[in-house]
Amino acid sequence: MERPVDHQAIVQAALDYIEGWHDQDAQRMERSLHPDLAKRIVMRGASPHGGDQLSQISALGLIQKTRRGIGLKPREDRRTSVTVLDQSRHSASVKIETTDTVEYLHLSRWNAVWVVVNVLWELKES
C-alpha cells in the first residue's frame, strides 16, 4: 500500500542523490545514501580479455567525487525524471533518467529515513 508521505520521501531521497551529484552538493548526496551503498555499472568489453567488467563505487567514494564536482552540470543542461517503480513498507525501487544516464535505485527506510542502498546504472548511447 502506497502512503503519500513515504512516496514523497522516496522521491526526495532520489532527487537528493541525483541533484546532489549535479550540484556538487556532497552534504545532500551523503544524506541520501546508506553508508554501505554500492553503485555499480557493467562496462561492456572493458576487461583485459575483452569481456564485460563490473565497476563499483562506495558511498564514501561517491560523496568524495561529488565534493570534487565530477558530476557538476548546469541546470539548463539537465533533464531529469524520477519514477517510483514499486514500494513497500520499508523498500522501494526507483528509476532515474537524466540527459546522460539511466539509473535504477533500491531504497530502504533506514532509521526512519529513506536512503539509497543500491544503484545499477548505465550511460545512454550517444
Provide the pLDDT for residue 126: 67
Query: Which amino acid does the sequence have at 21?
Result: W
46 vs 95: CA distance, rounded Å: 25
- Is the confidence at residue 63, as pLDDT, over 80? yes
Percent pLDDT > 90 in the chain is 80
DSSP alpha helices (H): ranges in 24-121?
Answer: 26-32, 59-68
Q: pLDDT digit string (tens) for 74-115? A: 888 889 999 999 999 999 999 999 999 999 999 999 999 999
pTM above 0.85, yes or no: yes
Provide the pLDDT for residue 78: 87
Domain ranges of the chain: 4-43+53-123
| Domain boundaries 4-43+53-123, CATH class | alpha beta
